[in-house]
Amino acid sequence: MKRFLPTALILVSLLALAGCGAKKFEAGTYQGGAPGIHGKDVVVEVTVDSKEIKDIKILENHETPGLSDAAFDRIPAAILKQQDLNVDGVSGATYTSNAIIGAVTMALEAAGADIASLTSGKKAEADTVAAATEVLNADIVIIGAGGAGLSAAVSAHQNGASVIVLEKMPQVGGNTIISGSAYNAVDPSRQEPEGIEDSVDKHYEQTFNGGDQLGTPEMVRTLVENSYPTLQWLESLGMEFKPHVFTVLGGLWPRAHKPVMPLGTGYLKTYTDYISAHSDEITVLTDTKVNEIYLEEGRAEVVNATGPNGTVVAAGHKAVIIATGGFGADIEKREKYNQIWPSLRNIGTTNHPGATGDGLAMAEKIGAELIGLEHIQLLPMGDPVTGSLSGNIEQSVENRIFINKEGKRFVDEGERRDVMTRALFDQTDEFMWIVLDAHNYPTMDTKNNFNESIQELVDQDRALMADTLEELAAKMEVPAAELVAAVEEFNAAVESGGPDAFGRTLFEHKIDTPPYFAGGRKPTVHHTMGGIRINTKAQVLDKDGNIIPGLYAAGETTGGIHGANRLGGNALVDINVFGKIAGENAAAETASH
Ligand code: ADP
C-alpha cells in the first residue's frame, strides 16, 4: 500500500472536490441511440437534474431476447449507481452493453455533460459483500444452464425430483441460445408429404460414418432412436417447430427441424416456461460458478461454487449432473488438444464466452475418463470479423454455392463440415463468398437464421446485392466470367440432378432469379466433440468403464457420441436426448440420506 498520494493525484482530487457542487447537466429528459448486435439502434431516455443522472429507460431495442436481458437490467443500474459511464460490459452481452453505454453517452451529451469527466473514473468494483457461505439442498444439482442442463432439470422434475441449477454466466442459455437451432429427426409426418425417404438406420449410418466411425455405436443408437420421441417431448412442453424439414449445413440429409422462434430461443423459452411454473422445486442461480465436485463416501453429491455473495455449497442428495458445455471459447484448451487443424489461436468462434470446458477438469479430478478431445469442429461459416454465425445468408444447403476469391467453386457444399472447412483453409485468405438468389429471399424482409433481414445485412454491407451476376462479381471483386461459369455449371447440375464435378448431390433450385446475393465467410471454431465419457444412461464412467456413483453428464461436455465430426443438426438432439435421459435416471436414484 502506498502511504502518500502522488502530488498530481492530490491536485486532481482537490479539483474534483472543488467541482463537487458545480452544475453537471442541463436538467431535463434526453434521448440517445447506438447500434446493438444487429446494427439497429438501442434507444434510451435519460433523465438528469443539474447534478445527477436520475433515471435511464430503454425505449427501443432489437436485441436477441434472452441474450441481452442481463445487460438491460444491469448496465443502466450500474451507471445510475456509479454516476459514471465507465462500467463493465455484461459478459456474453457485450454488444448490447456497449450499445446501452453509447446511447446513454449520447443522451448525456445532449444534456450538456462533459463526457470525459464521466468516463475518467475507476471502474466500479463489484460490490464488496462479506463472504458468506450459502448452503443449498435438493435431490439433484445441475452444473450449467444451457440446453443440456435445463432439459435435464425439466425431466428430473417431471420424474419427481427437486433441482438446483447453477450457472456461471449472468444469464441462462449458453451456446444453446445462440445456436443455429436445427434439430435432426426422422419424422414421417413432415418428411413423407415432401417425398423425403428416411429411416432411423440412415440417420445412424450418417452420424456414425460422418464421425469416421469413432463414435460409440450404442451411444449413436441411443441418440438417433430417441431423437423423434424427444422432439415430441419438447412439443409437449410447448415448443413449436416449422412444418417443413430442411438440410442444415453438414447435416447430409433433409431431416432438420427449424424452431418457429429464432436461434435457440425457442428451446430456452420451453425450458424456462416449465421452470417458472415449478419454481418452488427448481431453483436456477446465475452468476454462480461451480469450482469443484466432491464425492461423499464414493458418491458425487456436493459442489462448491462462487456466487455473487460468496461461496455457495450445494448438495444433490440423489445426483450431480455436469452440463457445462464445450471448450470452443477457451483458446488455451483448443491449442492443447488440437491435433488436426492448423493453429486455432487466431480463429474466431461461434461460441459464447462461457464455453471454456470447466466440467472436464472437475470430472477428471473425481476419476472420470475424458475421450476424443482432439476432435474440434470448425464451420466454414464464421462472420469474417467476429467468427459468429450472425450475418450468414444461407437458408438451406441445396440452394447456395461457395465461391473463392478467384470466382470459383472449390468443394461439394453438401459435404461434412470438416471436409468443407478443410477446403476453405486451402483458399486465398481462407475466405469465401456464399452466393445465392431470390429463391432464398423472396422479399427484402425475409430473415436469415439469425433473425436478420436481408435488407438489414445489405444496408450494413454484410451482404452484397446485385441484379446480375456480372454486377455481383464486380462487388465481390472476383472475375465475372468465372462466377458466371460457376453458376452455369451449378445450374446444369440442378437440371441433371447431379452428382456434379465436386460430387454434390443436394440440389433444389437453380441460381437464376435476381436479385443475387453474396456474403463473406471464414473458418470458425464451433463445437468440441470430445469430453466426459458417459454410458447410454448418461452416467459418467471412469477409465475402467465403471460408473462413478451419483455422477451424470450430458451435452457438449460429453464425448464418445459424434466421433471425429458432428453432423449439423445433431447437437440439439444430443443435448435434449441425453439431458432428458440424465434427468430421468438421476431422479430415479435413491437419495443418499
Ligand atoms: P450444452 O449445449 O451442452 O447445453 P451450453 O453451452 O448450451 O452447452 O451450456 C453450458 C452452460 O454451462 C453455459 O451456460 C455455461 O455458462 C455453463 N457453465 C460452464 N461452466 C460452468 C461452471 N463452472 N459453473 C456453472 N456453469 C457453467
**pLDDT level of residue 593 (50, 70, 90 thresholds):** low
The better pLDDT of the pair 591, 143 is held by: 143
Pairing between β-strand 299-307 and β-strand 289-296 as defined by DSSP bridges: antiparallel
**Does residue 174's CB lie within 6 angstroms of at least one atom of ligand 1?**
yes
pLDDT in tens, 76-97: 999 999 899 988 888 777 778 8
Distance 124 CA to ligand 1 centre (A): 27
Give the gyration radius of the chain's Cα atoms. Answer: 26
Q: Does residue 490 lie in a domain region?
A: yes
What residues act catalytically? 417
**Does residue 287's CB lie within 6 angstroms of at least one atom of ligand 1?**
no
Of the candidates 399, 376, 379, 400, which has an alpha carbon nearest to the alpha carbon of residue 389?
A: 379
Is the predicted pLDDT of residue 413 greater than 50, yes or no?
A: yes
Is the predicted pLDDT of residue 462 greater than 60, yes or no?
A: yes
pLDDT in tens, 294-313: 998 899 999 999 999 899 99
Distance 324 CA to ligand 1 centre (A): 3
Task: Give the CATH number for residue 545.
Answer: 3.50.50.60
Whether 454 and 474 map to the same domain: the answer is yes
Of the candidates 397, 435, 443, 493, which has an alpha carbon nearest to the alpha carbon of residue 180?
A: 397
**Could you identify the residue written with the cell 450431480?**
320
d(Cα 491, Cα 250) in Å, to the nearest integer? 21
Distance 349 CA to ligand 1 centre (A): 16
Calculate mean pLDDT across residues 42-58: 96
Task: State the cell numbers at 436.
Answer: 445465392
In a 3-state reduction of DSSP, which class is residue 325? coil
CA angle 380-386-391, nearest 5°?
65
Which is the closest atom of ligand 1 to the Cα of 291?
Answer: 23
- The continuous run of DSSP H or E covering 300 comes out as strand 299-307
**Does residue 528's CB lie within 6 angstroms of at least one atom of ligand 1?**
no
**Does residue 354's CB lie within 6 angstroms of at least one atom of ligand 1?**
yes
The pLDDT, as a whole number, for residue 557 is 98
**Does residue 289's CB lie within 6 angstroms of at least one atom of ligand 1?**
yes
**Does residue 144's CB lie within 6 angstroms of at least one atom of ligand 1?**
yes
pLDDT in tens, 220-235: 999 999 999 999 999 9
**Does residue 323's CB lie within 6 angstroms of at least one atom of ligand 1?**
yes
Q: Does residue 424 lie in a domain region?
A: yes
The pLDDT, as a whole number, for residue 121 is 61
**Does residue 325's CB lie within 6 angstroms of at least one atom of ligand 1?**
yes
For ligand 1, atom 16: residue with the closest CA: 354
Whether 222 and 351 map to the same domain: the answer is yes
Of the candidates 67, 131, 81, 71, which has an alpha carbon nearest to the alpha carbon of residue 102?
A: 71
The better pLDDT of the pair 86, 371 is held by: 371
Distance 96 CA to ligand 1 centre (A): 21
CA angle 334-338-344, nearest 5°?
55
Whether 500 and 536 map to the same domain: the answer is no
The pLDDT, as a whole number, for residue 14 is 38
**Does residue 583's CB lie within 6 angstroms of at least one atom of ligand 1?**
no
Calculate mean pLDDT across residues 399-406: 98
**Does residue 165's CB lie within 6 angstroms of at least one atom of ligand 1?**
no
Is the predicted pLDDT of residue 161 greater than 70, yes or no?
A: yes
Q: In percent, how much of the chain has pLDDT > 90?
A: 84
Q: Give the end of a domain, one of 93, 118, 143.
A: 118
Distance 167 CA to ligand 1 centre (A): 7
Mutate to test the pocket of ligand 1, among 168, 263, 321, 570 (most ligand atoms within 8 A of CB): 168
**Does residue 358's CB lie within 6 angstroms of at least one atom of ligand 1?**
yes
Whether 505 and 534 map to the same domain: the answer is no
Which is the closest atom of ligand 1 to the Cα of 354?
Answer: 16
Which residues fall within 8 angstroms of residue 355, CB to CB, at 6 or more apart?
Answer: 174, 175, 325, 326, 327, 328, 329, 330, 349, 556
Where in 507-585 does DSSP place strands (E)?
A: 516-528, 531-533, 539-541, 547-553, 558-559
Calculate mean pLDDT across residues 153-182: 97
Q: Does residue 123 lie in a domain region?
A: no
The pLDDT, as a whole number, for residue 19 is 42
Whether 306 and 439 map to the same domain: the answer is no
CA diameter of the chain: 83
Whether 145 and 101 map to the same domain: the answer is no
Is the predicted pLDDT of residue 37 greater than 90, yes or no?
A: no
The pLDDT, as a whole number, for residue 4 is 33
The pLDDT, as a whole number, for residue 6 is 33
**Does residue 170's CB lie within 6 angstroms of at least one atom of ligand 1?**
no
Calculate mean pLDDT across residues 484-494: 98
**Does residue 577's CB lie within 6 angstroms of at least one atom of ligand 1?**
no
The pLDDT, as a whole number, for residue 135 is 87
Total number of domains in the chain: 3
Whether 171 and 311 map to the same domain: the answer is yes
Which is the closest atom of ligand 1 to the Cα of 176?
Answer: 7
The pLDDT, as a whole number, for residue 16 is 40
**Does residue 424's CB lie within 6 angstroms of at least one atom of ligand 1?**
no
Q: Does residue 125 lie in a domain region?
A: no
Whether 538 and 448 map to the same domain: the answer is no
Which is the closest atom of ligand 1 to the Cα of 92?
Answer: 16
- Domain range for 249: 135-375+529-587
Distance 305 CA to ligand 1 centre (A): 14
Whether 87 and 54 map to the same domain: the answer is yes
Q: Does residue 98 lie in a domain region?
A: yes
Candidate from 10-14, 108-112, 209-213, 402-406 with smallest mean pLDDT: 10-14
Mutate to test the pocket of ligand 1, among 167, 179, 320 (most ligand atoms within 8 A of CB): 167
Distance 144 CA to ligand 1 centre (A): 4
**Does residue 176's CB lie within 6 angstroms of at least one atom of ligand 1?**
yes
pLDDT in tens, 98-138: 899 999 999 999 999 999 888 866 555 433 333 457 889 99
Q: Does residue 339 lie in a domain region?
A: yes
Is the predicted pLDDT of residue 469 greater than 80, yes or no?
A: yes
Calculate mean pLDDT across residues 316-323: 97
Q: Does residue 1 lie in a domain region?
A: no
**pLDDT level of residue 36 (50, 70, 90 thresholds):** confident
Average pLDDT across the chain, whole number = 92
The pLDDT, as a whole number, for residue 120 is 67
Calculate mean pLDDT across residues 27-43: 88
Whether 332 and 308 map to the same domain: the answer is yes
Distance 332 CA to ligand 1 centre (A): 18
Q: Does residue 16 lie in a domain region?
A: no
Whether 168 and 296 map to the same domain: the answer is yes
Distance 357 CA to ligand 1 centre (A): 8
**Does residue 392's CB lie within 6 angstroms of at least one atom of ligand 1?**
no
Calculate mean pLDDT across residues 495-524: 97
User: Edge to edge, what strands does the sheet with 241-246 contain?
Assistant: 183-184, 256-259, 241-246
The pLDDT, as a whole number, for residue 11 is 35
d(Cα 322, Cα 174) in Å, to the nearest integer? 14
Distance 320 CA to ligand 1 centre (A): 14
Distance 358 CA to ligand 1 centre (A): 8
Q: Give the end of a domain, one of 522, 548, 570.
A: 522
pLDDT in tens, 557-582: 999 999 999 999 999 999 999 999 99
- Residue 272 one-letter amino acid: T
For ligand 1, atom 27: residue with the closest CA: 144
Whether 297 and 395 map to the same domain: the answer is no
For ligand 1, atom 19: residue with the closest CA: 324
Instruction: State the CB neighbour count (10 A cutoff) for residue 540.
Output: 28
- Residue 568 one-letter amino acid: G
Of the candidates 494, 561, 565, 459, which has an alpha carbon nearest to the alpha carbon of residue 215?
A: 561
Q: What's the pTM?
A: 0.84
For ligand 1, atom 17: residue with the closest CA: 144
